[in-house]
Amino acid sequence: MKHGPITWLLVSAAAEMVVGSLLGYAMLLPMQPWGQRLRARWPPPRVLMSIHLDLVMLSLMQFAAGAALHAAPGPRDALAAGLLVGAGWLNFTPYLWRAVGVNAFVLAGGALQRSAALLSLLGTVALTAGWLLLLVQWAA
């Protein structure tokens, strides 16, 4: 396999899976008897779980896209892969922002909240555009 769209997707997916797995360890630390002090400083477990699950799901999505590109290559694979890789690293940001107290799910508030929400929106648009591009390409 040469370096190209499939490789980008697979490398990004593997990196996201590693980050998601490491976050799983970080979620366990405050639950340990010797990690009690972290519990007061760490974000709530449900917030970390949202980030963890989103990373894992986005990783699986990129693995699926890589397999699909291998099975049905097309002329716009590089653009679709670029959009999906970018989306994979942007789409979990609203949960990350929530962990530090910024509601990036709502396009309102101060400059930081609006910027975070726009960044999150960019990830969602890239994800949708990447998959639509692939679907249109395969349907043609």
Q: What is the pLDDT of residue 43?
A: 85
3-state SS, residue 92: coil
Q: What is the pLDDT of residue 129?
A: 98
Residue 1 has pLDDT above 70, yes or no: no
Helix axes 77-90, 111-139, angle to 10 degrees: 150
Could you read off the pLDDT of 87-103 as tens digits, one per residue?
999 999 999 999 999 99
Helices (H), the chain: 5-28, 36-41, 45-71, 77-90, 93-99, 111-139
Main-chain dihedrals φ then ψ at residue 115, nearest 5 degrees: -65, -45
Residue 128 has pLDDT above 60, yes or no: yes
Q: What is the pLDDT of residue 2?
A: 65
Structure-token pair, residue 18: 């590693």
As a whole number, mean pLDDT of residues 74-88 equals 96
Q: Residue 56: how many CB atoms within 10 A of its CB? A: 18
- Model pTM? 0.90
Q: What is the pLDDT of residue 64?
A: 97
Q: Which residue has the higher pLDDT, 105 or 39?
A: 105
Q: What is the pLDDT of residue 55?
A: 96
Q: What is the pLDDT of residue 91?
A: 94
Q: Residue 75: how many CB atoms within 10 A of its CB? A: 8
Among the listed residues 135, 20, 24, the one whose alpha carbon sits nearest the alpha carbon of residue 89: 20
Among the listed residues 107, 86, 103, 84, the one whose alpha carbon sits nearest the alpha carbon of residue 94: 103
